[in-house]
Amino acid sequence: MKKFEIPEYYKSPIISKVKAKRKLEDPRKKDFSPTSLIFENVEFIISRHFGFCYGVENAIEKSYKAIQENPEKRIFLISQMIHNPDVNQDLLSQGVKFIQDTDGTQLIPWEEITKEDIVIIPAFGTTTEIRDLLVNKGVDIKTYNTTCPFVEKVWNRSAKLGDNDHTIIIHGKYNHEETKATFSHSKQNSPSLIVKNMEETEFVAQFILGKKSIEEFKTFFDGKFSKNFNPEVDLNKIGVVNQTTMLATETQEIADFLKTVMIEKHGLLDIKSHFADTRDTLCYATNDNQSATIELLKSNADLAIVVGGYNSSNTSHLVELLEPKFKTFFIKNEEEIKSLNEINSFDIHTKKLNTHHEFLKGNSNPSIIITSGASCPDAVVDNVMKKVLELMNISFNPKSIAL
């Protein structure tokens, strides 16, 4: 695996030591059990796999190279490079400007962008419409294109499916930048439809099996299918791809479910003519992060802390996996930990930041699960651990860590 050049302040003395040891012991990542670190009376149960993935490190390296190599030029990102507030704030502090926000709202008019400017395409990729707009302006979109290779893999798979007359079912969040980009690319080759979850997939199944009308289908999926989409024709031959940050198990569940529906509709002997196996579109990092989080569920812990950006899809799914068993706090960084009695935590269901007044109060021997999303620097996770130790009046020396 390629080693990327990322700023030193994103690296960590604690987590890097843990990851290096686990990589040495288990280079093929067959063991997803967590690592236990004990500091006097505090235990941290650290996920086997978390933090910067290949695509994020690639994006960070290229973005900082753009800054270093173009000191006299204006530098723009189409939108947030990754969904992490600390990384994006650092880029802003160095003069990078965002053309759009994560919802697609225009912050800088396209008319202001010229061919002399540096435009960075974020890790999520971008739509064919924005790509063509930039190309027509004469902007170089190749040198600092940070699109994740695994996102591009989904696009390439979609194109092959389209070449074989498959309709593309995209498992993703309609307003997420990556889903917009994937939808934009897939609809160039074939009819495309976005489903967010099993509930929406079941609606598709009901139409396929003749239990919903075209009018009901088009009303339910308004704005989520490609132009001239004809469900009566286009849902006869399908393949499922994903937004790479969704729950991998849910993507597979959706694909498996739709396969059974197509078997019911067309028969087992003819299934290959109506359904494509697309397991190869699942992102390795998303899979590993989620597998390691599932392994955390076997732990005995008092609480869990998940660190990452609140608009990070992959991070929210880690919270989703942990919160049924553990009291789980979703924080962007150590600043959300106010005291042993108080912590701010983002609620993935209400989309609100709430203050909790029973964090570690009265617990003199806590066992704390800790993990983070794929866009969170290890240094931020270090800082969260150090903040807890500081509040517990425990001295910390990273050189003294024994693994």
Residue 3 forms part of a structural domain: no
Cβ-proximal residues to 72 (8 Å cutoff; 6+ apart), any chain: none
- List pLDDT tens digits, range 310-341: 999 999 999 999 999 999 999 999 999 999 99
Q: Side chain identity at 188, as an amino acid letter?
A: Q
**Domain hosting residue 261, numbered range:** 149-282
Q: Of 246, 265, 282, which residue constitutes the final position of a domain?
A: 282
CA 186/CA 39 separation, integer angstroms: 50
pLDDT at 401: 64
Q: Residue 80: which of 293, 356, 375 has the closest Cα? A: 375
40 with 61, same domain: the answer is no
The answer on 252 and 179 residing in a single domain is yes
Q: How many CB atoms lie within 10 A of CB 25?
A: 9
Query: Residue 71 sits in a domain of what CATH number?
Result: 3.40.50.11270
Mean pLDDT to the nearest integer, 108-127:
96
Residue 59 in any domain: the answer is yes
Query: Where does the pLDDT of residue 277 fall: very low under 50, low under 70, confident under 90, or very high at 90 and above?
Result: confident
pLDDT (tens digit, 9 = 90+) per residue, 36-48?
Answer: 999 999 999 999 9
What does the pLDDT average to over 181-202?
Answer: 96
CATH of the domain at 25: 3.40.1010.20
> What is the model's pLDDT at position 162?
93
φ, ψ dihedrals at 346, nearest 5°: -85, 130
Of 57, 177, 178, 336, which residue is the catalytic one?
178
Q: Measure the CA dihedral 52/278/128/216, to 10°.
A: -120
Q: Are 150 and 244 in contact (CB under 8 A)?
A: yes
pLDDT of residue 362: 79
Same domain, 28 and 41: yes
Three-class DSSP category at 42: strand
Does residue 3 surpass a pLDDT of 90?
no
> Taking Cα atoms as reference points, which of 310, 344, 319 lies closest to residue 80?
310
> Is the predicted pLDDT of residue 283 greater than 90, yes or no?
no
pLDDT of residue 286: 85
DSSP tally for the chain: helices H, then strands E:
13, 14
pLDDT value for 62 = 95
Same structural domain, 181 and 259: yes
In DSSP notation, 260-323 reads HHHHHHH-GGGGGGTEE--GGGS-HHHHHHHHHHHHHTTS--SEEEEES-TT-HHHHHHHHHHT
pLDDT of residue 248: 84
Residue 306's pLDDT is 98
Q: How many domains does the chain have?
A: 3
Is 174 in the same domain as 86?
Answer: no
Q: Are residues 291 and 382 in the same domain?
A: yes
**pLDDT (average), residues 259-269:** 95
Q: Indicate if 377 and 292 belong to the same structural domain.
A: yes
Mark whether 300 and 314 lie in a shared domain. Answer: yes
Task: Tell me the mean pLDDT in the region 250-255.
Answer: 93
What pLDDT digit, counting tens, does each position of 213-249 carry?
Answer: 999 999 999 999 999 999 999 999 999 999 988 888 8
Average pLDDT over residues 93-97: 94
Residue 249, pLDDT score: 87
Would residue 184 count as lying in a domain?
yes
25 and 69 both lie in a single domain: no
Average pLDDT of the segment spanning 107-136? 96
Are 195 and 204 contacting, i.e. CB atoms less than 8 angstroms apart? yes
pLDDT at 279: 74
What are the residues whose beta carbons fall under 8 Å from the beta carbon of 110, sequence distance 6 or more?
99, 133
Residues 6 or more apart whose CB falls under 8 angstroms from that of 186 comprise 155, 158, 159, 162, 168, 170, 192, 226, 241
Last-in-domain residue among 255, 282, 309? 282
Residue 198: what pLDDT?
Answer: 96
> Which of residues 282, 314, 339 is at a domain's end?
282
Report yes or no on 161 lying in a domain: yes
Determine how many CB atoms are found less than 10 A away from the CB of residue 203: 17
144, part of any domain: no
Same domain (yes/no): 277, 213: yes
Q: Establish if 87 belongs to a structural domain.
A: yes
Residue range 62-77: average pLDDT? 95
- pLDDT-above-70 percentage for the chain: 98
d(CA 237, CA 191): 10
143 within some domain: no
Residues 248 and 337 in one domain: no
Q: 369-403: per-residue pLDDT in tens? A: 999 999 999 999 999 999 999 999 998 776 656 56
Beta carbons within 8 Å of 284's beta carbon, 6+ residues apart: 150
pLDDT at 282 over 80: no
Per-residue pLDDT at 1: 58
- Verify that 159 and 258 share a domain, yes or no: yes
Contact 285, 59 (CB under 8 A): no
- Whether residue 178 lies in the annotated active site: yes
Mean per-residue pLDDT of the chain: 93
Token pair 């270093």 is found at 68
In a domain, 1, yes or no: no
